[in-house]
Amino acid sequence: MKKEIIFFDMDNVLVDFQSGLKKVDSETLAEYNDDGTGKPHYDDIPGLFSMMEPYKGAVEAVKRIAASEKYEMYILSTAPWGNPSSWMDKVNWVKKYLDSDHPGGVFYKRMVLTHHKNLCIQENAWLIDDRTAHGAELFGDHFIHFASERFPDWESVLKHFNC
């Protein structure tokens, strides 16, 4: 029987984005405070993604889901186009916190970085994401809206997947 797939977003799902921002000096934050439209573009700060800590409960949840051996697991994340270091930083973050730098690691060579998450939609695939952008909403009933009323934390997600 083919296993169901779980795709994990990174930012504010596996990774605590704010934990990285707290480590950035005020001059750099000011530099990235306005993208020309009045909105901050902090995700373009070089090296920011290497400074982030795991989201509360995320590493333990990944380990519990992996231990269940019921699912294939992949990272499905978007990396800022204007910040090429973020692509490398995200891979290194996964290696550091999820022990995926060697064969047999949970996410070893199981990482998709794209601005079109809907390209990964399959009949048996779930997406855990905190936002509906980049095609996430197209997963329909297989979209786990993390940090929402229904799925406020990792315990609620683990309960959903019976792990």
Q: Which residues are catalytic?
A: 9, 11
Token pair of 125 as six digits: 């695939």
Helices 58-68 and 84-98 pack at an angle, to 10 degrees, of 60
CA proximity to 18, closest of 44, 51, 58? 51
CB of 142 within 8 A of CB of 125?
Answer: yes
Q: How many residues comprise the chain?
A: 163
Residue linked to tokens 């231990």: 67
Contacts of residue 120, Cβ cutoff 8 Å, sequence gap at least 6: 7, 74, 76, 112, 114, 127
What is the token pair recorded at 68? 């269940």
